Structure 1
Amino acid sequence: MALQLRFLFLALFISASAVSQSDLSVKKIMQDPNWMGTFPSSVEWNEQSNTIYFDYNPEQNVSDSLYKIRLSTPSKIEKVSLEEQKSKVSLYGDYNDKRTQKLFVKYGDLYLHDIKKNKTDLVLDLGESIQSPKFISGSEYAFISNNNLYIYNVKQGQIQKKTNIESGSANDKTSKKSEKNQWVEDENLSLLEEVRVQKENSEMRDQNRKLLDDKSFTFYLDKQRAFSFDISETGNFLTFQTYQPDSPENTMVPNYVDASGYTEPLNTRSKVGDQDSQRDLYLYHIQKDTVFKIDTSSLPGITDLPKYTEDYPDREWEEKQRSVTFSDVKFSSNDQNAVLSMRAQDNKDRWISLLNLNDGNLEVLDRQHDEAWIAGPGIGSYYGGGSLGWLADDKHIYYQSEATGYSHLYLHNIENDNQTQLTNGDFEVFSPQLSNDKKHWFFTSSEVHPGERHFYKMPVMGGTKTKLTSMEGKNSVVLSPDEKQMAILYSNSNSPEELFLKKTKANATPKQLTDGQSEAFQAYDWRTPELIQFEAEDGATPYARLYKPEESIDKNAAVIFVHGAGYLQNAHKWWSSYFREYMFHNLLTDLGYTVLDVDYRGSAGYGRDWRTGIYRHMGGKDLSDQVDGAKYLVENHGIDADKIGLYGGSYGGFITLMAMFNEPDTFAAGAALRSVTDWAHYNHGYTSNILNEPHLDPEAYRKSSPIYFAEGLEGDLLIAHGVVDTNVHFQDVVRLSQRLIELEKEDWEMALYPIEGHGFTQPSSWTDEYSRILKLFENTIGK
């Protein structure tokens, strides 16, 4: 009997010792992130290359402050005074040819900084905002003010207006007053002699000014607005874009807990299908004193219909010229040529073209077409941007293209129309920049591994690349202005970003300058997730982060995390922007769960085919990748097929809903946070890329929107949403909840957060939300 009791006691002891527990808690993880420590961000150099500035918060204030490290005392971190901040040279501006001076604008005024003397002088204070300063010669500066180009001659102290761009129309300037208003003015002038004399003098001065002014041409904007001014290198040309403001039907988000005590409506975005206004590009030829409107009708394929229209044979499709958006115009150093990028507003085409500066005609150098949508690193987006410019020889332009399936760097010789690919392989290139002497490239790439980022140097015409960083993870490099030093924001999977300094040499040793982790954060032994690949149903091999519990506490249950944003990478070797979720996954693992975090189809970092794998069917391959991840866990890690849940926010919330509605045999429980439920109600810029427009491609929206599949819900579902979410509107889950009610579904619940938007800000909200997620899993798959 005693022996039996001893065995029973031993069995109970072993059972009790195997109970999973953690030093972490939801409340600890979700408290103000300051508990983790303080970490640098927004790094920049001073113009003398001897001081690094960065945002930092060692005092644990409400927001970060500006700090600096001098290279002469690298172990000393100093807070930048308010006076120094006000006098600090702007990061943006224009350098002279020798890079000894920099023009920049601050508080609307024009300043000149002498780099060697470290001296800044106020050049112009016009009382009106100055923009886009540019060196034209050693003694002339160009700038934009009130939509016009001005040249300031330093030696003469004179400002010359070079363009006449005015709002309104010519008719506005000469329009006659109504009979009533004219009578009022005439009567007033007959009664007040001094006023009449002033008016006559003013009219005489205007007439004299017109006689003296050699500018006979005025460009009237009419109802349009001008933006994006680009000044040529000699100041002889100006390009600008225009758009006509429209009034899209914006949606209203009610704020029920406004400080006023009243429900206040927030005027937010419109829905997909509300196109941006037509944009136009103009070339102002200063010497000819005229403006050319750039005609895009000759662009190859400008009237092509997208391939998806073939799926709607009963609809009549009109082949018409598509609207385009324009990049900045880049002028060669001698103003002989200019180049720009244009993209169709349906994002199926991108053209790189020369702009003839004599007549405004276009000559296409490269057309990139994609039946899905044009995107990728350095290629720009619906709103512009992208890598584009000239080499020092003025005959080669550079740009990036996904022609091979990955975004790479190209040169194009405009004299012989020859294209050269400078980088090549199954990796992507990020942020290429020319060296000061124009003889080399600096850029970041994923060549070593999709989950790593390293910094490289390469000859300008291509050739051997020199890898300048070596720390495994992400190396975000900011070169010093003299290019002799690299400030590196570095992180790995379980360590947030810290600041390092390294000479711009491959074999130099990086020196760590900050060490911001708190003792509380360091007290826990954070896991380095295993980076794995598994095979999907179509043979693709997605990357994923895997967190495995100790065998003694393994519940044989799994949670799959679905990252948001769609085009984002999270299965990598650096500190995740989802740091709360990373800590939550450590907690789940402590409690005996296996966690899988998949870079599903549509994620960034893996080239064009991966990016566009969700075209016209969100909730297709991006969902099947989650299902295949679940199968991988069952077959390789002993997970019970009936004990798998998933969760995610935004796009991750959308996938969670699609999984719970369409794959009930795979997922027993799910938490959908701030989730899109109907893509026809999301924004235009993001959604129209992937699904086209709902009135043109309705089948894509019906296949991709969870609200159409709600009848498939069988497992336990938690829906959580911020009421004042101006990105994915609260209306999304309200409409879905009504659908679930009508379908008489029972195993779902909703948590609402009255003062939260799309990204939560309050620790109490984070804690409540993730406590509910943990409770959901513990009460379902964790039993």
Structure 2
Amino acid sequence: MSPKILALSVTFACSALGNMLLPQAAHATLPVSLTAAPARISPADLTLEQVFRAKSYAGQSARLIHFSHDARYLAYVWNPFSETGSDLYLHDTLTGETKRITSPAVMKAFDAPEAWDRFDKKFQQREQEDAERQAKAEAQAAYLRGEQVDLMQWETAALEEVKKELAEKKAKDAAKKAEADAEAAREQAAAGKAADKPAEGKKDNQADSDKPKALWELRDELKKKIAKNKLKPGDLYPGVDQLVWANKKNELIFQYRGDLFRLQAANGKIERLTRTGTPERIVAYQANDQGYLYMDDKRLYSVSFNSSVIRQLNPELIHPDDADKKYSITDTVLSEDKQWMAISAAVPDVNPDTGKPNPSSERQVEIMNYNERFATAKKVPREVSDDKRKIPATALYIRHISDANTRQPQPVFTNDGGDIWFEMSKISWAKDSSRYTFSTWEREKNLLRIYVGHAAEGEKPKMVFERRGNVGHEVVNVVDPQFTPDSKQLIAVLDEQGYRQPYVINTENSSARAILKGDFEAHHIVGFTPDSKAMFVLANKGDFAAMNIFKADLASGDMKALGAAGDFHRQSDAADNGEKVASVAGQWSSRPELKIMDVNTGKTQTLTNSHDPQWNSIDLLRPERFSFTNRHGDQIQAYVFKPFHWQISDQRPAIVYTYGGPLNDRHIVETDSFQPTAYLFGMYMAAKHGYVTVAVDPRGHSNYGRKFSDANWEQAGKPQTEDLEDLTKYLQQHLGVDGKRIGLTGWSFGGFQTQYTMYTSPDTFAAGIAGAGPTEWENYNSWYSGRTIGKTERSKPTLRQYSLLPLTAGLKKPLLLVHGMQDPNVLYQDTVNVYRALLENGKEQLVDLFLDPDGEHALGGAIKAKAWHKKYERFFLQHLGTALPAASQ
């Protein structure tokens, strides 16, 4: 069934606006699924222009998903396919109806007409650019097939537009000059002076300006126009950004273009609360719902609905002139009753003599831009493992909110900063506002601590948990200590038994009790039941490729799955009453949508319909999941696209896609992931060319437990290569693959992994494509390399021992290196340096480069997804050959 969405009539949205809307507004409330199902394309006719079309088939996912206090309403922001911005929707769980609250028609009333002139213009520009890019791709394909195609038609039209604009500008300038000349003549006549005669030089200049511009000059003008009009953030209608519900009432406050608006859920009435030139960020309602709290930058304000008084709650910290350290506020977190503030502060890095900020201590790396007549450089910050750090001193203050001018309390926690790795989590308050908690992590000491403090000024928090060594590098981002709703139990995510799961922390004896049982990842707590007896958690229990939402008993650890088997849940929320949960969830056979689930009955309702139904026309194959046992007895997860008429006796070429590195909570084999190369290109090569295509998660990946995520430590690429070698044997034995015709590819860490394997296991794969791989770990960002690659020293680049450059002598098979030349993440120099090493080692006949002059880490400059996969297709067909003869397909 299609989700039922009702258009909400708002009192101030007059019908006269209808003719002025963005093109998508008139159809905003129509379910996408009303479109007739498209015909499926035959495999022989499938093209990469269709698979990687200019406008993606994937729509936007719902976000900012929040239940009202009584679970009557679910608020979220989203829009149907092809619309701009994310508008606010309310789902009534009692009636089952969903109402669209905001839209271009509604929000236009709150903006200056000039803003909507720009939104309209830029929307049309985006649509035209997408259509033109797709048309160019189709025309180029037709041209290469030998068809008669005018490939210059778009430039010709654009140049004609430039001519028109230049002529209009010239006429406008001439009119202005004539007016100015006439005024000057009148002034001279009034003064009794003769009018000036035009100088000979001016006549010549006028003659030159009257000449039509040459073609090359028009092209220069077009290039300048394209650069000037390039779409930027803020050019399109944004929709709603951030929202909070009231504590008791069924109303909420949302943000739109930096201003705050109040919504009554029952009648849909919108009231504007602010209209300033400074962006405001909604924080919460006052405890009694009679007003709200918001921030602009670092200042926190309280405002009552029935008063014009604005009160700042967190005035800047005061320090005597002789104070050793002078802290400045960086963050403020309010207690649940809005009576206490946890103020985080840091010492600004300023010159004591001038009072101005010191230059950044981070290394500045130059990236070259080749888009002008001569190359220019821009600088990007880069902190590598052997850089001396300059972490500012930090402090935490607990302060009671009061109108009285009381003396500023002393900080309850401090850290001196300096040349260290120190991280501190956000403060979390207990629901009864009596206590707060936070965690700290010191990487070089491998030291994790959790603290609990009381709501009291100047009182130091107590360290209630400490783990030195054996912490697990991936747990530090998800520890997230928090109290249960009854404020009695402290819950934190730890990695005590090899998997990131929630634990109950005993604040008296510093022990930790595992809540769940089993080998799986469960590091995202969604919420709790109001009696604090159960929690809702995302976990990949029973299926490492999925992430279901479970209700788990805090005492017994018993778990009940609430979502459909195989679904991957991402953005999620649980109602305060514990009776409903909502998630964006889906899988390959049913693309992700926002779903609301009744915890007691198990009933699920889908609220959104996000994606283009035209996807069904190219959805020719679905992958099959499989796993194999590596040489160490580990189960390695993968999926495969089998071509039509596949048989195990076939001897087909194959392509393997891998990533291989730790990535917090992501890996490649995920049931809702339509990754461009692993899934889309894999499906294409199987359907069109009869290849067997595989995506695999070798050891080194996240979300498989610490054994996998730590496998890469001090042996980067080695365990992954072992698993890839074992995979190739499995492909030959079970998937009808010719062992001499297997290709390997990957991006980012996968680009590193592809190269490492091609250099150190040179007979395993017949060809490889390595995209944007970090080849010199000593030059990569230290926040990642120092946690995942190996031990580091400030005095020397010790991670150079994991560089790929010395390994390049081992290459035996063709290798294509791909990179965006303006990549600020993995620097383009990494590919240049490994390319040089390959040439120096005599591999010129094996190695090729494919570069995007304007591309960053995901390319996207001159090379879009269609283009780079066209290159992949040609490369693999050239080096791996074709599959079975067409007659036997």
Q: Quick check: TM above 0.5? A: yes
3-state SS of paired residue (2:740): coil
Match of 1:291 among 389, 401, 410: 410
* 1:256 corresponds to 2:354: no
Deviations 1:448-481 (A, max 9, x none): 3112222222455555433222243324464475
| Aligned equivalent of 2:380 | 268
Equivalent residue letter for 2:424: F
3-state SS of paired residue (2:752): helix
Match of 1:230 among 333, 337, 341: 333
| Aligned equivalent of 2:745 | 647
Tell me the distance in 1 between the aligned counterparts of 2:500 and 2:249.
31
* 1:709 corresponds to 2:807: yes
| Aligned equivalent of 1:611 | 709
Deviation at 1:132, TM superposition (A): 6.7
8 Å CA contact 1:487–1:499 kept in 2: the answer is yes
Match of 2:637 among 540, 543, 546: 543
3-state SS of paired residue (2:817): strand
| Aligned equivalent of 2:219 | none
Greater shift, 389-398 or 619-628, is seen at 389-398
| Aligned equivalent of 1:451 | 545
| Aligned equivalent of 1:574 | 671
8 Å CA contact 1:108–1:131 kept in 2: the answer is yes
Aligned residues: CA RMSD: 4.0
Alignment of 1:736-775 (within 5 A): 736-746=834-844, 747-761=846-860, 765-775=864-874
Tell me the distance in 2 between the aligned counterparts of 1:249 and 1:292.
32
| Aligned equivalent of 2:51 | 29
- Aligned identity (percent) is 19
Equivalent residue letter for 1:584: F
Distance 1:85 1:739, change over 3 A: farther
* 1:165 corresponds to 2:290: no
Match of 1:530 among 624, 627, 634: 624
Deviations 1:169-193 (A, max 9, x none): 7549xxxxxxxxxxxxxxxxxxxxx
Deviations 1:645-704 (A, max 9, x none): 201111111111111111112122101111111111111221111134654597962443
Q: Gaps (5+ residues) in structure 1?
A: 1-19, 173-218, 303-319
Equivalent residue letter for 2:346: T
8 Å CA contact 2:501–2:514 kept in 1: the answer is yes
Match of 1:83 among 106, 109, 112: 106
Distance 1:613 1:85, change over 3 A: farther
Deviation at 1:767, TM superposition (A): 2.9
Equivalent residue letter for 1:490: A
3-state SS of paired residue (1:450): coil
Tell me the distance in 1 between the aligned counterparts of 2:298 and 2:867.
51
Deviations 1:235-260 (A, max 9, x none): 344321315444311211111115xx
Equivalent residue letter for 1:81: P
Tell me the distance in 2 between the aligned counterparts of 1:55 and 1:149.
28
3-state SS of paired residue (1:534): strand
Deviation at 1:401, TM superposition (A): 0.8
Deviation at 1:120, TM superposition (A): 5.9
Tell me the distance in 1 between the aligned counterparts of 2:338 and 2:347.
27
Q: Gaps (5+ residues) in structure 2?
A: 1-41, 111-238, 350-359, 401-405, 883-889
| Aligned equivalent of 2:659 | 563
| Aligned equivalent of 1:239 | 343
Equivalent residue letter for 1:739: A
8 Å CA contact 2:740–2:766 kept in 1: the answer is yes
Deviations 1:548-590 (A, max 9, x none): 3334794433221113764265554523141453121123223
Alignment of 1:61-80 (within 5 A): 63=84, 66=87, 68=89, 80=103
Equivalent residue letter for 2:587: N
Distance 1:248 1:225, change over 3 A: farther
Alignment of 1:200-599 (within 5 A): 222=326, 225-232=328-335, 233-245=337-349, 246-257=360-371, 261-273=373-385, 274=387, 275=389, 277-286=391-400, 289-292=408-411, 294-295=413-414, 323-346=421-444, 348-355=446-453, 357-370=456-469, 373-376=472-475, 379-380=476-477, 386-414=479-507, 419-435=512-528, 437=530, 439=532, 440-459=534-553, 461=555, 463-476=557-570, 478-479=572-573, 486-511=581-606, 513-514=608-609, 516-519=611-614, 521-524=615-618, 526-549=620-643, 550-551=645-646, 554-563=650-659, 566-567=662-663, 569-570=666-667, 572=669, 574-590=671-687, 591-599=689-697
Equivalent residue letter for 1:256: Y
3-state SS of paired residue (1:767): helix
Tell me the distance in 2 between the aligned counterparts of 1:730 and 1:513.
40
Distance 1:127 1:657, change over 3 A: closer
Match of 1:673 among 741, 758, 771: 771
Deviations 1:727-752 (A, max 9, x none): 11111111122222222222111011
Tell me the distance in 2 between the aligned counterparts of 1:753 and 1:448.
42
Tell me the distance in 2 between the aligned counterparts of 1:566 and 1:415.
35
Tell me the distance in 1 between the aligned counterparts of 2:611 and 2:312.
52
Aligned residues: 682
| Aligned equivalent of 2:156 | none
* 1:662 corresponds to 2:760: yes
Alignment of 1:84-123 (within 5 A): 84=107, 91-93=242-244, 95-96=246-247, 98=248
Equivalent residue letter for 2:826: V
Tell me the distance in 2 between the aligned counterparts of 1:512 and 1:137.
31
Deviation at 1:720, TM superposition (A): 1.1
Equivalent residue letter for 2:568: K
Equivalent residue letter for 2:706: R
TM-score (norm 1): 0.76
| Aligned equivalent of 2:727 | 629
3-state SS of paired residue (2:843): coil
Tell me the distance in 2 between the aligned counterparts of 1:117 and 1:419.
48
8 Å CA contact 2:395–2:415 kept in 1: the answer is no
Distance 1:55 1:106, change over 3 A: closer
Distance 1:243 1:627, change over 3 A: farther
Deviation at 1:140, TM superposition (A): 7.8
Equivalent residue letter for 1:748: V
3-state SS of paired residue (1:441): strand
3-state SS of paired residue (2:497): coil
Deviation at 1:119, TM superposition (A): 5.5
Tell me the distance in 2 between the aligned counterparts of 1:680 and 1:86.
54
3-state SS of paired residue (1:710): helix
8 Å CA contact 1:37–1:518 kept in 2: the answer is no
Distance 1:492 1:250, change over 3 A: same
8 Å CA contact 1:397–1:413 kept in 2: the answer is yes
Deviation at 1:715, TM superposition (A): 0.9
3-state SS of paired residue (1:708): helix
8 Å CA contact 1:601–1:622 kept in 2: the answer is yes
Deviation at 1:45, TM superposition (A): 5.5
Tell me the distance in 1 between the aligned counterparts of 2:507 and 2:735.
57
Equivalent residue letter for 1:425: G
Deviation at 1:523, TM superposition (A): 3.0
3-state SS of paired residue (2:382): coil
Distance 1:650 1:748, change over 3 A: same
3-state SS of paired residue (1:714): coil
Tell me the distance in 1 between the aligned counterparts of 2:44 and 2:796.
48
